[in-house]
Structure 1
Amino acid sequence: MGQQVQVPSDVDGVRVIVCVGDFDQDTLEPLTAACTAATDDSGVRRIVLDVAQVDFADSTMLNLMLVLLRTRRLVLAGPLPHRLERLLHLTQALDLFEVADSVDAARAL
């Protein structure tokens, strides 16, 4: 399966980036571009990464998520897909991320 990245309009300094599909070193560019645009925008205080529809993620996506943690407040909106949750557990990175059950819950944090 391919991937899709959508960026709805910002609300109150929160930028939502919706991720759908597979994210690996060959397909990460649209997500990287969306994340770079968010971090370059001084009006964005929080990034909500909607990962509920991620079918596959490898270490390149994890690395991007870790970079985002250093630049802005990052919230993962789920529920976390099994494969992504497994990656976060295996790398012992899950505790680094704030996780919300939905985009609306992530916006409210």
Structure 2
Amino acid sequence: MEQVVTALPDHDGVRVIFCAGEFDQDSLDPFSQAAEEAVADPTVRRIVLDLSQVAFADSSMLNELVRLRRTGHPLVLAGPLAPQLSRLFELTSAHQIFTITDSIDEARAL
């Protein structure tokens, strides 16, 4: 089951979106809505996605990540990533286009 909880931007304009569970084309709506809200908020200067609790994601989740990246907002993915998600990024070479950190603290500090 998917779960997305969005934290409001803190004093430095970082919006953190926490994702947990499994994501495919049938369960992306909460994530997509949280991402759209972050993009639409003019106070957000960076979006951090905490993917450390994502157990499974398919190509539809990857497509949403790419779409979010194309909005032009600075985007950082925080891990550690689950083996399945790491493999998806490796197989598609997506790890080359995203900034991926080992922790939420590291992602916020960038």
For Structure 1 versus Structure 2, the TM-score category normalised by the shorter chain is over 0.9
What count of residue pairs does the alignment treat as equivalent?
A: 108
Alignment correspondent of 2:58? 58
How is 1:1-109 mapped onto 2 (pairs within 5 angstroms)?
Answer: 2-11=1-10, 12-71=12-71, 72-109=73-110
TM-score (normalised: structure 2): 0.95
Please state how far the C-alpha of 1:70 moved relative to its aligned partner. 1.4
Query: Aligned-residue CA RMSD in angstroms?
Result: 0.7
Percent identical residues: 55
- For residues 42 and 63 of structure 1, the distance between their equivalents in structure 2, rounded to whole angstroms, comes to 24
- For residues 41 and 70 of structure 1, the distance between their equivalents in structure 2, rounded to whole angstroms, comes to 16
**Unaligned stretches of 5+ in structure 2?**
none
- For residues 93 and 74 of structure 1, the distance between their equivalents in structure 2, rounded to whole angstroms, comes to 13
Off by >4 Å, runs of 4+ in structure 1: none
